[in-house]
Structure 1
Amino acid sequence: MRTALLVIDMQNAFFEDGALDAQRDRVVGACNELIAEARKSGTHTLIVRTEHERDRSTWTLSMLDDDQGFSFHGTGQAEPLPELDIAGLPHMVKRRDSAFWGTDLLQRLRTWDVDTILLAGVSIHLCLAQTASDAYANNLRVAFAGEAMGAEAPDRADAMLDVLLKEYRQSKLSQDDALALLRG
């Protein structure tokens, strides 16, 4: 298997939520450990960020309904968490929950000859889950880096993971197993 590490939405905007902020140290620490191992092993790593435009052109239905955007391009909200060790890594901007929607992610993974993605970041029940679902639709295997993920609604995250793990045969890994996957 050829694996790529995707670190999703580890940005200031998402950690403004108190529930996610309480998980920040754990999630960032685990992500940094995965990133360090990926660098060491030569595993492709992609930092995926959500950004929107103030003119509402990139807003989701819920943002439009609530008349409230966030993570605007060029703002501090859209910036990666400062303690995340991502220097020199490629970045990709997305506009929806799935990292596949409207991006060149699939092309990048095909170019890298990847058949498995290791997902880390936030939020489990939204962006990670939607990316995992779309990966399945593209015949890519998915593993979730359990300790390197967070969610503001743990009950919904657990329910979503239950479906993905059982129905799509995806896996949730301990940190040691995620590191081993990156090592090959």
Structure 2
Amino acid sequence: MKIETFEIQYLQEAKDALKSAFFRKESDEIFNEWEFAERVLRSEGYLPGLCFIAREKDKIIGYNALTMASIGESKGLALGPLGVRQEYQNQGVGSCLVKESIQRARSAGYPWIVLLGGAYYSRFGFESGQPYGITVSDNPFENAHIQILFLDDKVKNEVSGKLIYCDAFYDERGNLL
């Protein structure tokens, strides 16, 4: 398996990998993880060098993106969507994508990476955003799932407030998708 920088010609295959990872009968046809991959490309928060694919021979088996985000006055990155084709899950592909994302974000000088997710991400150093006063909405359930990784410990005491993703993550009324 090889991790590569995403390029536009991989879009459909990346969407297929995300759909394999996330599709459920009740999935929304427009607002879902695989359509985010395309929405991100049209977003002001898109960072071409910080979107990745995992490839096994000639097949794209995973995708991850880092996009611009802010928490209060602090600027950093949001991780996701991250997905791996079902038949390749639990084989370390997602971990490789996350590790590459962290390494490239650190090299580029970003101070933090944030995401909405569970305990899986603690193995990479992500921690709850709640002790820092980070929120994403008025919904306590969503706020409980904010995870942050500080790439620069000097900003730990400066990051607090509402998490704002890039425009790709909101519908036309401004609701987080």
Does the TM-score normalized on the shorter chain lie above 0.5?
no
TM (norm. structure 2) is 0.36
Q: Relative CO higher for 1 or 2, CA cutoff 8 Å, sep ≥ 6?
A: 1
Which of the two has greater strand per residue? 2
Which of the two has greater helix per residue? 1
